[in-house]
Amino acid sequence: MSSYDLADKVVLITGGTGGLGRATAQRLLSRGAHVALVDVHPRTAELAAELSARGFGVTADVTDRAAMDAAAAAVVARFGRLDVAIANAGVMGAASSLRTMPAAAADTVLRVNVNGVLNTVGATIEEVIAHEGQIVLISSVFAFMNGMGAIPYAMSKASVEQLGRGLRIELADHGVSVLTAYFSLIQTDMVRNGVDADPRVLEIMAALPRPLHKRLQPTEAAEAIVRGMTRRSARVIRPRRWTALSVARGVMGPAGDARLLRDTATLASLAKLDISDASPITLQGVPS
């Protein structure tokens, strides 16, 4: 496909008031796009208006398909069209082994991160097709790395990856491109509160090779998304050093799992999760 000019395009972003959502909105506005934020935040409309006169906000829950249909309709009523849908909204529960994770916590992660993405796509797909636009899905490096300590989250991001692969083929004849973005940890409130504040998570992450510990700023991730959109790319991975692991996952994944099984420090860290209750899930926009 040819390059994609974002000027005057209408872009809907779920989870738009959070770190990555807001940063992406700002980058799109700088390219001349109109941006519609959809979020559970009660002040979504206000926050969108503060960004720009070309900003618009709707308070809606991505797990409610009727609410998403209404949000998409409101965006079309405001701008007259909808060109791009970015399914960014997501949640991450507290670190826990699956054995000790409350069923409600696992259900919430899957409901928001999988069903919420499906609802976003379903509510916007006809408008996107009508304008030969784009669908952008936010997956994660967790789609292809071991999800120990956060299995439902890793499952959800692998599901998003599969959704992107399938949609890319299904929508090709309609002139629609599908971009899947894979990020490692992004410096947002979600990561500060859910990762950095939990020493158990930091212990488990220590099992990763040091080059993979690099963090992203929201602006870096947002720029990668916007560049991918302008090129109609199939995927972007940041930091780029994760690309080799993605490409070689069939070999490196099993090899990495075998190494983890021999890593006594990692197994000891996981044992701590197995004997502690998971704290209540925090519903926050997840960057990746």
Tokens, residue 102: 């409350």
Task: Exactly one of 79, 153, 182, 242 is catalytic; name it.
Answer: 153
The identity of residue 285, as a single letter, is G
In the residue annotation, 153 being an active-site residue is answered as: yes
Q: Which two tokens stand for residue 207?
A: 């099992």
User: Measured in whole angstroms, how far is the alpha carbon of residue 276 from the centre of its chain?
Assistant: 28
Strand partners, 136: 86, 179
Q: Which two tokens stand for residue 283?
A: 């519903």
Residues assigned a catalytic role: 153
